[in-house]
Amino acid sequence: MRKRKRQHTAKKRKEFSWNKFLVVFILFFSLLIGGFLYVRKYYPAHYQRILNKVFLSKTNIDYENKRIERISYNYRTKTFGIDLSHYQERNDIVWDSLYLERGNIPLKFAIFRATMGNNTRDKNFHYFWEQARKQKLVRGAYHFYRPDEDPVQQATSYLQTITLEKGDFLPILDIEKLPKKKKVKQYLQDIQVWLDIVEKKYGRKPIIYTYISFYNDYLHDKFKNYPLWIANYNNVLTPTHIHNWKMWQFTENGITPGSKVKIDLNIYNGSEEQMQELLIQK
């Protein structure tokens, strides 16, 4: 009887250990999936970048290079450019060597992050801005919108940091994140406040930059009349079937003879002359 009891107790302990392991595994897996979905909802830009990096590491960087080459070839009659932010340092760019090596496509414009949120200014913005002027590139300045901060202060910070001139891109608003402390309805109203303030200053509708999924899920219905700069790193030949897209950020893994690091590459969907539609005219 005692032997049976010991065997029974050992069996129970084994079952308990297995059940405990199973519970811990399920909790861990649930947290992992929950975190993944959280990032996807509130930080779609980071979600896209994570997927992109995982995708590249599991396959081959050659695949991404071929995708870039294919898009560059298909849009070779359009206008190409770059955008930079705090991820790039001053010595990362050789300003007189900016072109796509395959196809020898010149890069005609450069867009920089100027401000973030209520009062944060990009550390390299004015340096990049001046270098682009020296190279006679069409320049653009964007504001990264922080959804839980004040739209009036954010617009004011942007307008105080940069004065756009004739030949520069229209003001640009980068929208990538959902708020944590506001309802989506209030968030969209706040975005409209920023856009209205900046439009009043320059007399033209600002350009909206966002990711394809974020635009489709939250912005399309309310902001469809604004010029659209869309980010889409998928293996597609066009960033969206929406008719009014103006620019496409098609990779964050661009390499040119003028860059020592990977940079964002963009296409304006037209000629350099047609791009005047997105520039300050007076």
Q: For this structure, is 165 an active site residue? A: no
Q: Domain spanning 59-280: which superfamily? A: Glycosidases (3.20.20.80)
Q: How far apart are CA 272 and CA 249, in angstroms?
A: 17
Q: How far apart are CA 230 and CA 228, in angstroms?
A: 6
217-267 residue pLDDT tens? 999 989 999 999 999 999 898 998 876 899 999 999 998 898 999 999 999
Query: Tokens in use for 199?
Result: 């439009």
pLDDT at 65: 86
- Collapsing DSSP states into helix, strand and coil, what is residue 149? coil
pLDDT at 35: 52
Q: Point out the residues of the chain with pLDDT beneath 70.
A: 1-60, 103, 243
The active-site residue, picked from 64, 176, 199, 277, is 176
pTM of the model: 0.81
One-letter amino acid of 72: S
Q: How far apart are CA 31 and CA 96, in angstroms?
A: 48
**Residue 82 in contact with residue 107, Cβ under 8 Å?**
yes
Instruction: Go through 234-251 and write b for each residue having 16 or more CB atoms within 10 A of its CB, e for each that does not.
Output: eeeeebbeeeebbbbbbb
pLDDT at 27: 67
- At a CB cut-off of 8 Å and minimum separation 6, what does 274 contact? 79, 268
pLDDT at 58: 44
Indicate where the chain has its CATH 3.20.20.80 domain(s).
59-280
